[in-house]
């Protein structure tokens, strides 16, 4: 009697890949939508300039905006908050690389002030972000 049951229900050794393809396509769409949002920093209009792309990835992005506003990654700060907290933030993140991005019409003094805070905190490398000039 057992043999009879086995013959009626043979083993199916096939793998149904249609559902796996559906999951893969869904993940691909999710990654395509979220990848542009993973870029750090605040949205600003960068000055135009000729520069080559940076080789490594920075640990932090510092943004200097009009009106004396600053940002570290996506968090907006005042100058007082930035000067008080940047050293400890850089210490926690390893003091490796920082990208400084400033809006096109920010006074040069504000950029130098932000650079001074970074140097005082002991940051090893600072890159300045520009919008690549088109020829």
Q: Structural domain of residue 94, as residue ranges?
A: 40-132
* DSSP H/E element including 128: strand 125-128
Pair 111, 123 in one domain: yes
Series of mean pLDDT values for 10-residue runs along the chain (135 residues): 59 82 92 74 63 64 85 86 87 79 86 89 81 62
Same domain, 53 and 102: yes
> Chain centroid to CA 99: how far?
11
In this prediction, residue 24 carries a pLDDT of 93
pLDDT at site 74: 80
Paired tokens of 57: 């990835």
CATH number at residue 56: 3.30.420.270
Q: Are residues 82 and 123 in the same domain?
A: yes
Res 27: pLDDT: 93
Kindly state whether residues 49 and 109 are assigned to the same domain.
Answer: yes
Into how many domains does the chain fold? 2
pLDDT the model gives residue 135: 47
Are residues 112 and 62 part of one domain?
A: yes
Statement to judge: residues 85 and 118 lie in one domain = yes
What is the gyration radius of the CA atoms in the chain, in angstroms? Answer: 26
pLDDT of residue 3: 55
73 and 116 part of one domain: yes
- The CA distances from residue 130 to 27, 46, 51, 59, 102, in Å, are 33, 5, 7, 18, 8
Three-class SS state of 76: strand
Model pTM score: 0.59
pLDDT at site 22: 92
Shared-domain flag, residues 13 and 54: no
């Amino acid at each position: 009697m057992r043999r009879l049951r086995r013959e009626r229900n043979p083993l199916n050794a096939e793998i149904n890949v249609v559902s796996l393809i559906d999951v893969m396509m869904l993940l691909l769409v999710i990654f395509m939508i979220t990848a542009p949002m993973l870029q750090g920093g605040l949205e600003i209009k960068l000055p135009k300039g000729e520069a080559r792309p940076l080789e490594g990835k920075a640990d932090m992005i510092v943004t200097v905006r009009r009106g004396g506003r600053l940002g570290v990654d996506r968090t907006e700060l005042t100058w007082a908050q930035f000067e008080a907290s940047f050293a400890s933030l850089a210490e926690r993140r390893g003091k490796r690389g920082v990208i400084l991005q400033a809006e096109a019409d920010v006074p040069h003094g504000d950029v130098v002030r932000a650079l001074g805070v970074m140097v005082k905190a002991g940051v090893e490398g600072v890159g300045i972000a520009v919008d690549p000039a088109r020829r």
